[in-house]
């Protein structure tokens, strides 16, 4: 373990490991994967909005019909869809944070 750290430290000091950067043209079909990821993210956000609408309607029906169980399920659905949309909206920032943090190790 210590030898590995010393070897990596020597490589970094010589500039061998610091010149490695991500290559966006290295793999064929990488643009297709990026488009697919963007499409999946958009679809997931649309589904979160649909879930929010359905949960809000469920909450409203449960409240106005005097059924606390249905109203509670609607509240839970609103909370989950809201948290899901926050996570989906921030996924790019989370990945950028992980990439930046990993590059400093």
In a domain, 79, yes or no: yes
Pick the most confident of 11-15, 33-37, 54-58, 87-91: 54-58
Long-range contacts of 46-55 (CB under 8 A, 24+ apart): 48/81, 48/84, 48/85, 48/88, 49/81, 49/85, 51/77, 51/80, 51/81, 51/84, 52/77, 52/78, 52/81, 52/82, 52/85, 55/80, 55/81
In a domain, 90, yes or no: yes
Q: 52: domain range?
A: 33-105
Confidence of residue 10 (pLDDT cuts 50, 70, 90): low
In a domain, 4, yes or no: no
Look at the chain and report how many structural domains it folds into.
1
In a domain, 98, yes or no: yes
pLDDT tens, residue by residue, 34-58: 889 899 999 999 999 999 999 999 9
Of residues 69 and 30, more confidence is placed in 69
Q: What is the pLDDT of residue 76?
A: 97
Whole-prediction pTM value?
Answer: 0.68
In a domain, 54, yes or no: yes
């Amino acid at each position: 373990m210590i030898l590995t750290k010393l070897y990596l430290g020597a490589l970094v000091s010589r500039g061998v490991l610091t010149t490695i950067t991500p290559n966006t043209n290295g793999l064929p079909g990488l643009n297709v994967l990026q488009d697919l990821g963007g499409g999946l993210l958009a679809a997931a956000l649309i589904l979160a909005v649909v879930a929010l609408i359905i949960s809000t309607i469920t909450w409203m029906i449960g409240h106005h019909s005097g059924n606390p169980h249905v109203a509670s399920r609607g509240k839970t659905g609103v909370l989950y869809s809201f948290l899901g949309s926050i996570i989906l909206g921030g996924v790019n920032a989370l990945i950028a944070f992980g990439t930046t943090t990993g590059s400093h190790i």
